[in-house]
Structure 1
Amino acid sequence: MIDEDGYFGESVAAGYDVSSAEMFAADVVRPAVDLLAELAGDGRALELGVGTGRIALPLSARGVEVHGIDMSRAMVERLRAKPGGDTIGVTIGDFATARVEGGFSLAYLVFNTIGNLTTQDAQVDCFRNVADHLEPGGRFVVEVGVPDLRRLPPGQNAVPFHVSEGRLGFDEYDVATQSMTSHHVRVRGGDTEYFSVPFRYVWPSELDLMARLAGMRLVDRWDGWTREPFTSESRQHVSVWRKPTG
């Protein structure tokens, strides 16, 4: 059952950092923080879906003032319990619509979190909400995977994304609606746990159109945080849109 924390309630939050341990590795976090700190400059940064602080905490440690928005109180409690967690301002709410006081030079969404908004309208609203928060010349950064539809042969609707001892993950696609469900199966101490999270996958060109509707324009798109070229073989992208200065 979905509670007020959405799909990231206590049961998920309690083991989130462990289940996503590879995303907390220094060689994954550092390039993202380096780029975000550069783009933020002397301004404030707004993280949509701040979660347990994987990016917000090291970015704050770099001297950037960070404010987060998140629907899950359980995830934010984990953020608060970490060293430096009390320095991150957090607004509890839907990041497509929640408002934060003040302006920001940078807003960002990482680790496929744009897909947690499961309708096109909500994703469009998110871009508009970001544009309203950004100062003139401010930038919006999104890290998200490219839909993996080329791996779907006729008649198949699921693609594995993690297969290892004790853990199985696969994405189930509905190409008619651009909906996707990530299924997670874990075996711990002989007990089997299962949960699923719905997403809406979105194409890079569609994100560009959403940015245009919000008055922003694409300025950069890379394969990853270290600015590798984005190509037709890329399985993810880091994109940057900019709000005009005038």
Structure 2
Amino acid sequence: MLDDDGWFGESVAATYDESEAEMFRPDAVGPAVDVLAGLAGDGPALEFGVGTGRIALPLAARGVPVHGIDMSRAMVARLRAKPGGDGVGVTIGDFATTRVPGEFAVAYLVFNTINNLTTQDAQVDCFRNAAAHLRPGGRFVVEVGVPQLRLLPPGQSAVPFRIGPEQWAFDTYDVVTQAMSSHYVTIVDGRAEHTSTPFRYVWPSELDLMARLAGLRPLDRWEGWSRAPFTSGSRGHVSVWEKP
């Protein structure tokens, strides 16, 4: 349900770390932090959609000053409650438009969070906001999946991505508007509960154009944080753009 914290209110924040436990594993977090720390160098980092601190906290522990922007007070409260949580600055607001003081060596947006901006205009604004925060030579990093439209046969709009004894999850796509939603059907006390979250999927080439509109130039694109080459078969990518 949408509330003052957007789609990530108390009901989501209370179980977020557990529901996304695989993304909190060291083998998921470590490579991302390695790349971001390397890009930051001796400069500060800005995370759009800092959430409960999955990346911000270990990055700060590496000695990188981190500031985050997030709309959800409930998610940020979880970050604050963790060890080191008071060492990460946070501004409450929409990361597509909210400004914070200072210039940053790297700004980053991970784990498909660019898709939480559900209009193309908002996604373009996000790139412009990132560029406005970067110092010359600074980098903007986005981690996001490649839309899996090749899995859709004619007449079908849903792609399952999780099937288990207590939960089924699937994405639905509108190929006209690029709107999508992630749906979760969970068995609780023998009854099925359904939740869904809206997104807007975005293509790699579309992101490059958004970067150009923001005055950024492409630097790197990998299949993931291990820096494996991005190919036509890749199901996700980590892309890096630079502010001249």
TM range (shorter): over 0.9
The one-letter code of the counterpart of 2:98 is A
User: In the TM superposition, what is the alpha-carbon distance from 1:129 to its structure 2 partner?
Assistant: 0.4
The gaps in structure 1 that reach 5 residues or longer are: none
Change (3 A) 1:172 1:162: same
User: In the TM superposition, what is the alpha-carbon distance from 1:238 to its structure 2 partner?
Assistant: 0.2
Q: In the aligned structure 2, how far is the partner of 1:22 from the partner of 1:213? A: 35
CA shift digits 1:81-101 (9 cap, x unpaired): 000000010000000000110
1:26 counterpart residue number: 26
2:59 counterpart residue number: 59
1:136 counterpart residue number: 136
2:103 counterpart residue number: 103
2:162 counterpart residue number: 162
Alignment of 1:38-49 (within 5 A): 38-49=38-49
User: In the TM superposition, what is the alpha-carbon distance from 1:165 to its structure 2 partner?
Assistant: 1.7
User: In the TM superposition, what is the alpha-carbon distance from 1:184 to its structure 2 partner?
Assistant: 1.3
Change (3 A) 1:190 1:110: same
* SS of match in other structure, 2:147: coil
CA shift digits 1:16-53 (9 cap, x unpaired): 00000000001000000000000000000000000000
Q: In the aligned structure 2, how far is the partner of 1:108 from the partner of 1:122? A: 16
1:176 aligns with 2:176: yes
Q: In the aligned structure 1, how far is the partner of 2:169 from the partner of 2:63? A: 36
The one-letter code of the counterpart of 1:8 is F
The one-letter code of the counterpart of 1:86 is D
* SS of match in other structure, 1:52: coil
The one-letter code of the counterpart of 2:186 is R
The one-letter code of the counterpart of 1:241 is W
Alignment length, in residue pairs? 244
2:214 counterpart residue number: 214
User: In the TM superposition, what is the alpha-carbon distance from 1:214 to its structure 2 partner?
Assistant: 0.3
* SS of match in other structure, 1:221: strand
User: In the TM superposition, what is the alpha-carbon distance from 1:188 to its structure 2 partner?
Assistant: 3.9
User: In the TM superposition, what is the alpha-carbon distance from 1:191 to its structure 2 partner?
Assistant: 4.8
User: In the TM superposition, what is the alpha-carbon distance from 1:167 to its structure 2 partner?
Assistant: 1.6
* SS of match in other structure, 2:57: helix
1:36 counterpart residue number: 36
User: In the TM superposition, what is the alpha-carbon distance from 1:189 to its structure 2 partner?
Assistant: 4.3
Change (3 A) 1:74 1:88: same
1:148 counterpart residue number: 148
The one-letter code of the counterpart of 1:132 is A
Q: In the aligned structure 2, how far is the partner of 1:14 from the partner of 1:104? A: 31
1:12 counterpart residue number: 12
* SS of match in other structure, 1:76: helix
* SS of match in other structure, 1:202: coil
1:115 counterpart residue number: 115
* SS of match in other structure, 1:194: strand
TM-score calculated relative to the size of structure 2: 0.98
1:238 aligns with 2:238: yes
